[in-house]
Chains A and B, each alone.
Chain A
């Protein structure tokens, strides 16, 4: 149990690459903080600096108010789950889980009790005598989790722990990780580039881009009020439609009324609607259906509008045909405006 405080943390790699450019995040006790962002934005680097596996070249990282910049991963009392699990291939599951405790000089019977307890929580009890190569991917993932949990550390760190699992298993494990983290109450930092994982797991969501924090906060707040076009297109699937304001003309040629400075208009596929005729207020775009993607409970219409491709979500099975002309509408309160720097306006 600990709070984690990052203050203006920076990382410049030996070659001069600036991977993290001043990140400040305060993670309260027992919270799960998710770092999300595109590949190469510095998520792993930041996580590894929290772990103590990478030196911090600027700023401070503090656990419970105590700066830990200078101490190693062992003394920081963290546990980490790696993307490829990093299980010791020559050790049985039991020993994989017990290894960290042994190195800390935990008494034998205590180790045995804790390993069995953890194995029970993760339903690994019948696998304790196997070696990692005799396990399925999902089971290996559980062992990696078990190895982290059994030590009862101050902080859990996860680096894309589910990215090697298939979609169904990933969904299951996501729920399981969330429940475990809740019940154990261990402060956690979780790196992913899957926005669904990010949305569902996070108490605090941190959207990163090019070594910087783009937006930080409650995941639903971020979804509802993205601070920039980057966040808007990163959070939510399919991504938000973004159109230059000047291109959004109504049939009579008038430009949509936008807040001052706004140059980009955004609306989410799920906030839009399609009708045959234009409605009164809000957005109404003439569009042509270019593609239909039925997913089951919903369908996505890909339309050409305002010289761009626009995605609209419609519930259930879609009756629209290719080439059909229609109007894409969205209510005014569902519109997002961004200025010329991509920042939120109005």
Chain B
């Protein structure tokens, strides 16, 4: 990195020092506003239930961090049938990964077919995929549920994942990207003796990594935060995802709710998406830098 080291060199043209201070003040304020509730949740997750129920809640973390977290992770939470949060995390990870990977595989393959092959009714298929954009899960929920029941897929991972996999959005995204690949490159590969499969594996996939990484992040979070469908398709507490479990943990009566565990579960629920974003960000930032010609 050959960045200028002295502070004044970093000023952009036409930027005054005051301007920078004001901008930073606004940004810091924004961060405080966004981050404070999360911090407060964390603080709550380290106090005992009694402390939480007796306002005001302290602003500093308490001493029950290890107790609360191990109770939630391994002990089992009463209100959701004694299922430990570790099971919830595992379930949700499977579902989110399944949805993200499944969607990517399905959509990259369909985009590949639509862009690079000429087959009868190609545009018809394209439009059919496009139209499904207008039919989100919520709209087709009854027939889908019926199908799942008939296939005996209630309370299974497959039942949680498969109905959410088909993705018109991701297909369209890949299609747009594939359309930007120069025809010459495709022809060069043909001249070099790469058949359809080799072209896909050796050229298209490596060129799409940035897109795949970005989509993976988006789709993982989409899968992680699914609410309506997991709620319908799971009856067994063992199969709950973390979002559903969180909802079930909160009772109407305040005294019935183990608030300290709810807070712990909330904290744990945001860890994997954050991890995915942080880890993958490095990936797609590198990808973005590399593809620049």
Q: What are the residues of chain B within 8 A of A82 when measuring CB–CB?
A: 184, 187-188
B52 contacts A by Cβ under 8 Å = no
| A89-B207, A90-B206 as given contacts; A100 in contact with B192, CB under 8 Å | yes
Number of interface residues of A (CB under 8 A): 25
| A88-B203, A90-B207 as given contacts; A104 in contact with B187, CB under 8 Å | no
B190 and A53 contact, CB distance less than 8 A: yes
Q: Select B182's contact among A48, A86, A151, beta carbons within 8 Å.
A: A86
For B205, give the chain A residue with the smallest CB separation: A90
Interface string of A94-115 (1 = CB under 8 A from B): 0000011001100000000000
A74 and B190 contact, CB distance less than 8 A: yes
B198 contacts A by Cβ under 8 Å = yes
Query: What is the minimal beta-carbon distance from B264 to any residue of chain A, in angstroms?
Result: 44
For B181, give the chain A residue with the smallest CB separation: A89
B185 and A88 contact, CB distance less than 8 A: yes
Q: Select B191's contact among A79, A84, A89, beta carbons within 8 Å.
A: A79
Instruction: Count A-B pairs with CB separation below 8 Å.
Output: 60
Interface residues of A in 52-83 (CB under 8 A from B): 53, 72-74, 78-80, 82-83
B191 and A78 contact, CB distance less than 8 A: yes
Interface string of A24-58 (1 = CB under 8 A from B): 00000000000000000000000010010100000
A86 and B184 contact, CB distance less than 8 A: yes
For A48, give the chain B residue with the smallest CB separation: B187
A133 contacts B by Cβ under 8 Å = yes
For A84, give the chain B residue with the smallest CB separation: B184
Q: Select B188's contact among A72, A80, A133, beta carbons within 8 Å.
A: A80
B293 contacts A by Cβ under 8 Å = yes
| A89-B291, A90-B207, A133-B293 as given contacts; A100 in contact with B182, CB under 8 Å | no
**Distance, CA A80 to CA B183, complexed state (A):** 14
* B contacts, CB < 8 Å to A: 182, 184-185, 187-194, 198, 202-203, 206-207, 290-293
Pull 15 A–B residue pairs with CB atoms less than 8 Å apart, ordered by A. Answer: A51-B191, A73-B190, A74-B190, A78-B191, A80-B187, A82-B184, A86-B182, A86-B185, A87-B188, A99-B202, A100-B191, A103-B192, A103-B198, A133-B290, A133-B292
